[in-house]
């Protein structure tokens, strides 16, 4: 009898132990879900490159873009037409842009337009699927976008001090977005804004200090004079900063536009890059008291109502 009791106790102890083990392994499984599966995408720029994973999962992804360089950058996700890769960008897209920009710098707008005319037909089929807005040196931008499977080019076309594109100096990376999807649900916004070619940037909520998740609803999209569409950039500015210098800078077609150095007195805090009409995305910011402007990277943003000022007390 005593022997059976002992045996029973032993069995109980052992089965408890194995249950514990099972729980432990379940816990480990939870811990082992990779950041990419959770939709957490870290991107780093140290000078003129994108350091990040080569393959992402489809669905909602939060791009956490750390700018450790000395220049302003952004991150834009271009969904390429099937069959086109970074080799095609390098052979067909960069040369017309390099030639066109060089001519703009020389003040030869007519031949610049002719150079951009050499862009291949498939260039028009690229879909811009969002990304971060402009982000100042030593800052981190956080934007959440929905990525469908396909071949993407991650790019930044800000210009260097000499007027040459960042894209032509390494800020061009091919990314495969796989069929397998992330587990990320879209975040709950604290503020919503609409952006359109007709009404510009329209805030739906009041803005207060602290951590904010801003939803950006692209009601429509269109190709402006600079061959691309509208986006949303959040910029904090000093009392003495000239908004006109910012508006001028936010147009890459100006020889000094979108080119280092960025205008004085402005800190770029990210935002949402170009999305197709009907799409939405999110970006996260921690707002401290100060003056702010939401602005699109388009020619004469103020005349298009693609500029919205506010302040945090």
Least spacing, CB of residue 273 vs Cu ion, in Å: 12
Cα angle value 233/236/241 (rounded, 5°): 115
| Whole-number Å distance between alpha carbons of 67 and 49 | 10
Q: Do the beta carbons of residue 192 and residue 181 sit within 8 Å?
A: no
| Whole-number Å distance between alpha carbons of 164 and 46 | 18
SS3 state at 96: helix
| Whole-number Å distance between alpha carbons of 257 and 247 | 9
Least spacing, CB of residue 201 vs Cu ion, in Å: 23
In the bound state with Cu ion, the residue whose beta carbon lies nearer, of 160 and 300, is 160
Least spacing, CB of residue 80 vs Cu ion, in Å: 20
In the bound state with Cu ion, the residue whose beta carbon lies nearer, of 129 and 166, is 166
Contacting residues for 115 by C-beta, under 8 A, at least 6 apart: 96, 99, 100, 103
| Whole-number Å distance between alpha carbons of 112 and 254 | 12
* Strand 191-196 with 172-181, pairing: unpaired
- In terms of Cβ atoms closer than 10 Å to its own Cβ (0-12, 13-18, 19+), residue 58 is middle
Of 245, 243, 244, 306, which is closest to residue 274 (Cα–Cα)? Answer: 306
| Whole-number Å distance between alpha carbons of 180 and 106 | 48
In the bound state with Cu ion, the residue whose beta carbon lies nearer, of 76 and 115, is 76
Least spacing, CB of residue 62 vs Cu ion, in Å: 20
In the bound state with Cu ion, the residue whose beta carbon lies nearer, of 42 and 260, is 260
Least spacing, CB of residue 189 vs Cu ion, in Å: 27
In the bound state with Cu ion, the residue whose beta carbon lies nearer, of 171 and 214, is 171
Least spacing, CB of residue 158 vs Cu ion, in Å: 4
In the bound state with Cu ion, the residue whose beta carbon lies nearer, of 73 and 280, is 73
Of 226, 223, 219, which is closest to residue 124 (Cα–Cα)? Answer: 223
Least spacing, CB of residue 250 vs Cu ion, in Å: 15
Q: Write the Ramachandran bin of 129: left for phi over 0, alpha for psi from -120 to 50, otherwise beta.
A: alpha
In the bound state with Cu ion, the residue whose beta carbon lies nearer, of 158 and 247, is 158
In the bound state with Cu ion, the residue whose beta carbon lies nearer, of 166 and 259, is 166
The residue ranges that bind Cu ion (CB under 5 A) are 73, 156, 158, 166, 171
Least spacing, CB of residue 50 vs Cu ion, in Å: 9
DSSP E strands: which ranges in 127-221?
A: 127-135, 139-147, 150-155, 172-181, 191-196, 200-203, 210-218
């Amino acid at each position: 009898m005593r022997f059976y009791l002992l045996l029973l106790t032993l069995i109980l102890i052992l089965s408890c132990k194995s249950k514990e083990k099972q729980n432990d392994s379940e816990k480990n499984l939870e811990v082992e879900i990779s950041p990419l599966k959770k939709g957490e995408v870290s991107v780093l720029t140290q000078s003129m490159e994108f350091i990040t994973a080569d393959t992402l999962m489809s669905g909602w992804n939060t791009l956490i873009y750390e700018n450790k360089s000395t220049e302003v950058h952004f991150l834009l996700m271009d969904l390429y037409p099937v069959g086109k890769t970074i080799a095609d960008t390098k052979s067909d897209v960069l040369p017309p842009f390099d030639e066109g920009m060089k001519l703009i710098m020389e003040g030869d707008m007519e031949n610049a337009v002719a150079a951009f005319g050499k862009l291949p037909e498939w260039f028009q089929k690229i879909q811009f699927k969002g990304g971060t807005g402009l982000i100042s040196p030593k800052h981190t931008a956080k934007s959440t976008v929905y990525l469908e499977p396909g071949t993407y080019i991650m790019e930044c076309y800000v210009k260097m001090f000499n007027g040459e594109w960042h894209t032509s100096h390494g800020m061009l990376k091919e990314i495969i977005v796989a069929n397998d999807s992330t587990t990320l649900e879209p975040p709950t916004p604290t503020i919503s804004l609409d952006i359109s070619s007709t009404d510009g940037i329209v805030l739906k909520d009041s803005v207060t200090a602290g951590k904010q998740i801003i939803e950006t609803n692209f009601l429509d999209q269109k190709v402006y004079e600079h061959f691309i569409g509208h986006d949303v950039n959040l910029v904090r500015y000093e009392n003495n900063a000239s908004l006109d210098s910012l508006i001028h800078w936010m147009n890459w077609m100006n020889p000094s536009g979108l080119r280092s150095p960025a205008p004085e007195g402005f800190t770029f805090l990210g935002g949402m890059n170009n999305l197709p009409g009907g799409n939405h995305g999110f970006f996260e910011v921690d707002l401290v008291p100060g003056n702010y402007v939401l602005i699109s990277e388009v020619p004469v943003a103020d005349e298009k109502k693609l500029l919205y000022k506010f302040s945090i007390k």
